[in-house]
Amino acid sequence: MDDDGLSTSGWSYVGAYALWAVSVAASVLVGLLVQSALVQMATIAALDTAGDPGAALDASLRIRFGDVWSYMLMGLILVAVVVFVEYWYRTGVEMGRLLARFLRVTVFQVALLFVVHSLYFAVARATGISSWSAIYVPLAELAGLLLCAFAYGRVRQPDKG
């Protein structure tokens, strides 16, 4: 017991829930950024329909439909993430694997951002609406991904994947 009356394992659970809150907040941010990038890519792809009013209307309605319903889909995914990550971190405390599990979730989040922003950059660059300076976002995410993956590799125990 500590002087505060909370055991060391109690502090581990406090840490687990603090990391859980960070992961949930990051998941919401990642979800919003992914949704935004996908809608923007769909909008860029619809630019080819500018000459045909019927096709342009159809494309705009499809994009609007996808934009509105993507929030519900993202909400359902986030509920599953919240429940799963809480369980995974809580059991990670019991197994002594909390930091490794947090880093694994973080690697997945940053990798998802990197893939989506790389695709967005490629689409925007192919259509000529983006300059080469836009590559800095995916490159920064790649650097963050490599850093998190390196940290995960350092804390991961080889016998307990």
DSSP secondary structure string for all residues of 77-96: HHHHHHHHHHHHHHHHHHHT
Domain presence at residue 151: yes
**CA 83 – CA 137 distance, rounded (Å):** 30
Does residue 89 contact residue 81 with C-beta atoms inside 8 Å? no
**pTM of the predicted model as reported, rounded to 2 decimal places:** 0.79
Domain presence at residue 3: no
Does residue 20 contact residue 86 with C-beta atoms inside 8 Å? yes
Domain presence at residue 138: yes
Considering its fold, how many domains does the chain have in total? 1
Domain presence at residue 73: yes
Longest dimension (CA), the chain: 73
**CA 96 – CA 66 distance, rounded (Å):** 42
Domain presence at residue 2: no
Distance from first CA to last CA of the chain, Å, rounded? Answer: 31
Domain presence at residue 42: yes
pLDDT in tens, the chain (161 residues): 444 554 557 788 898 999 999 999 999 999 998 888 888 888 887 777 667 778 777 878 888 888 888 899 999 999 999 999 999 999 999 888 899 999 999 999 999 999 999 988 888 888 888 888 889 999 999 999 999 999 999 998 654 54
Domain presence at residue 59: yes
CA dist list (Å): 23 to 15, 134, 150: 12, 26, 18
Domain presence at residue 1: no
- Give the range of the structural domain holding residue 92, as residue numbers without chain letter: 8-160
